């Protein structure tokens, strides 16, 4: 098997990685809808999905089945080719971008082949991500145009103007990070953030030297929210004005594909924010003997979550919940115990911190949606061109000055 793997590294190493990552991503997408509905519901003092499965955990499955069995209507006079192309383009581009995200520092060994914990490790990883984002506009613009309907056209127009405007800020806001790291390679950007100020404050780019990228991060996250067409920048699908904007005329699974594309871009943006500004997979604690106990934080987190779920599950209203929730809790606890095994502990550190940071950003995404009102269209354009872009240029100038001064 090992010889076969050495001869066909693409087939044996890359293909399984792609399949596994795709499976994880699609499952994560489905449960992200559940997460968003739950969080928004609790922000608005509601319960959110509760009926389908314990705590509504089977809701994504029910939604998926419902989307599959809906009638797929094509509006009269629609441009067939573009109408079909748009959702495919949106979803495939959104999912492709996850291929360049590195999830951890350790190498994985599959049949004697060493491979990084990412599908590929590109020298121009960041640029590839931006080019995929640049092409992502077409999904929305084509959907709006090809539907042969008023509201989608307005939505498509709005969003293509918005995405072009905010893409500038998005790209400019990370220039500071690139200048400090000196590379486009995402793993190297993470590695450049190692080290600690005064022994305990992590040297992540957000608070890094020579120039903390706090401004850069705020610009990046704001324009990324606009780029993914999420509230409060979801002018392209403002339901109070445009019914549902660019995807008004889409039904069934084509609508679901737009939905999944939006959530996939949320995940990509969260990954990117973590990698660029928050040290990626790096632990927030120093790697000294004094801080050695922090290696058991993953174990503790999983065991506590598992035990809490068991305690909650045995008192759940339905019989089904009383059966399922403790089993999930038990699985989490078991994983936590597994993470305490010496060899596994080291391997788990990177992915654990990375996923935790991503989760924080996804929560912020939902939090922003739940609390901020939508922008007016002229405000949106003014905000992007007159405030964010000049600030992004300022950030580039200040960062380069700081680098030149400190390197002298």
Partner 1 sequence: MTAQMAVFLVLAAVAVAGAVSLILQRHPIHSALSLITVMVALACLYLLQGAEFVAAVQIIVYGGAIMVLFIFVIMLLNAGEEERTNLSTMARYLGVPLGIVFTIEVAYWVGRATLHLAPAPAEVVSTRDLSSLLFREYVLPFELTSFLILIALLGALVLARREETE
If one asks whether residue 381 binds partner 1 (CB under 8 A), the answer comes out as: no
- How far apart (Å, rounded) are the C-alpha atoms in residues 267 and 273? 10
Q: Which of 58, 79, 284, 294 binds partner 1 (CB under 8 A)?
A: 79
Query: Within 13 Å and on the Cβ side, how many CA atoms surround 172?
Result: 23
Q: What's the chain's length in residues? A: 408
What does DSSP assign to residue 236?
Answer: G
Contacts of 234 (CB under 8 A, 6+ apart): 245, 374
Size, binding site for partner 1 by CB under 8 A? 32
Q: Give 55 or 247: the residue with its C-beta nearer to partner 1.
A: 247
Q: Which of 25, 59, 115, 171 binds partner 1 (CB under 8 A)?
A: 171
What does DSSP assign to residue 111?
Answer: T
83, exposed or middle or buried, with CB in 10 Å at 0-12, 13-18, 19+? Answer: buried
Q: Which of 2, 27, 109, 123 binds partner 1 (CB under 8 A)?
A: 123
Rounded least distance, CB 376 to partner 1, Å: 20
Tokens of 374: 């939508």
Q: Which of 57, 98, 99, 128 binds partner 1 (CB under 8 A)?
A: 128
- How far apart (Å, rounded) are the C-alpha atoms in residues 42 and 6? 52
Q: Which of 101, 117, 163, 236 binds partner 1 (CB under 8 A)?
A: 163
Tokens of 233: 């920048």
Rounded least distance, CB 195 to partner 1, Å: 23
Q: Give 124 or 251: the residue with its C-beta nearer to partner 1.
A: 124
Q: Which of 32, 91, 94, 153 binds partner 1 (CB under 8 A)?
A: 153
The 3 state secondary structure assigned to 54-82 is HHHCCHHHHHHHHHHHCCCCCCCCCCHHH
Rounded least distance, CB 82 to partner 1, Å: 7
Torsion sign over Cα 357, 358, 364, 370: negative
If one asks whether residue 167 binds partner 1 (CB under 8 A), the answer comes out as: yes
If one asks whether residue 141 binds partner 1 (CB under 8 A), the answer comes out as: yes
Rounded least distance, CB 56 to partner 1, Å: 39
If one asks whether residue 223 binds partner 1 (CB under 8 A), the answer comes out as: no
Residues that bind partner 1 (CB under 8 A): 79, 81-82, 85, 122-124, 127-128, 130-131, 133-135, 137-138, 141-142, 144-146, 153, 156-157, 160-161, 163-164, 167, 171, 182, 184
């Amino acid at each position: 098997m090992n010889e076969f793997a050495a001869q066909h590294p693409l087939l044996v190493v890359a293909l399984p990685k792609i399949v596994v990552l795709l499976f994880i991503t699609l499952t994560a997408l489905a449960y992200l809808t559940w997460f968003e509905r739950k969080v928004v519901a609790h922000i608005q003092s509601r319960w959110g999905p509760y009926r389908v499965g314990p705590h509504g955990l089977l809701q994504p499955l029910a939604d998926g089945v419902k989307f599959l069995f809906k009638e797929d209507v094509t509006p009269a006079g629609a441009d067939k080719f573009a109408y079909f192309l748009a959702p495919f383009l949106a979803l495939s581009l959104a999912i492709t971008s996850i291929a360049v995200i590195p999830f951890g520092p350790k190498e994985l060994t599959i049949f004697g082949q060493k491979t990084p914990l990412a599908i590929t490790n590109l020298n121009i990883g960041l640029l590839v991500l931006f080019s995929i984002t640049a092409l992502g506009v077409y999904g929305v613009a084509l959907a709006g145009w090809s539907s042969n309907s008023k509201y989608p056209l307005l939505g498509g127009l709005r969003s293509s103007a918005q995405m072009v405007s905010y893409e500038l800020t998005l790209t400019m806001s990370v220039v500071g990070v690139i200048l400090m790291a000196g590379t486009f390679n995402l793993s190297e950007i993470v590695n450049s953030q190692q080290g600690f100020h005064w022994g305990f404050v992590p040297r992540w780019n957000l608070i890094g030297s020579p120039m903390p990228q706090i401004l850069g991060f705020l610009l990046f996250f704001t324009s990324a929210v606009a780029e993914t067409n999420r509230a409060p920048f979801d002018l392209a699908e403002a339901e109070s004005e445009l019914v549902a904007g660019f995807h008004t005329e889409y039904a069934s699974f084509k609508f679901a594909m737009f939905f999944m594309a939006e959530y996939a871009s949320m995940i990509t943006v969260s990954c990117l924010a973590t990698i660029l500004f928050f040290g990626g997979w790096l632990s927030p604690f120093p790697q000294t003997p004094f801080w050695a106990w922090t290696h058991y934080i993953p174990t503790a987190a999983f065991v506590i979550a598992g035990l809490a779920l068991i305690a909650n599950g045995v008192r759940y209203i339905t019989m089904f919940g009383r059966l399922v929730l403790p089993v999930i809790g038990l699985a989490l606890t078991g994983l936590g115990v597994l993470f305490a095994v010496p060899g596994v502990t080291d391997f788990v550190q990177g992915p654990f911190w990375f996923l935790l940071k991503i989760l924080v950003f996804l929560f912020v995404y939902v939090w922003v949606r739940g609390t901020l009102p939508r922008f007016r269209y002229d405000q949106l354009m003014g905000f992007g061109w007159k405030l964010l872009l000049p600030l992004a240029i300022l950030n580039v100038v200040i960062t380069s000055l700081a680098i030149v001064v400190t390197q002298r």
